[in-house]
Amino acid sequence: MSAPAVISIDPKADWMTDADHAIASLSSRYLRTGQTFTADDVYQIAGEPDDNHWPGAAFRAARARGEIVKTHAYVQSKRRGRRGSTIAVWRAAT
């Protein structure tokens, strides 16, 4: 007998958890390789958020916890929905 499926009642909490895990994974990669990351990288791992404000909240929370810092670099987003706008480049706090 398989376990019953879990149905989310809070999509924001679910996405934020996924984003936190993605940011932690990308930060770990930075510490190993020196490779920086952007919100585009988080979306590849966590998926698209239902609300465009959630990614900023996820990055602010990770920065407040001392896990990441914003570099002074910006790059052009590769996501179609961003239409080539610039996004911040992040790295793990060391």
pLDDT of residue 1: 55
List the Cα angle 49/53/55 in 5-degree steps: 60
Topology adopted by domain 11-92:
Arc Repressor Mutant, subunit A (1.10.10)
Whole-number average pLDDT of the chain:
90
pLDDT higher than 60, residue 83: yes
pLDDT of residue 56: 94
Residue 74 has phi, psi (to 5 degrees) of -135, 145
CA 41 from centre of chain:
7
Distances (CA, A) of 59 to 9, 28, 33, 81: 23, 15, 21, 19
pTM (2 d.p.): 0.85
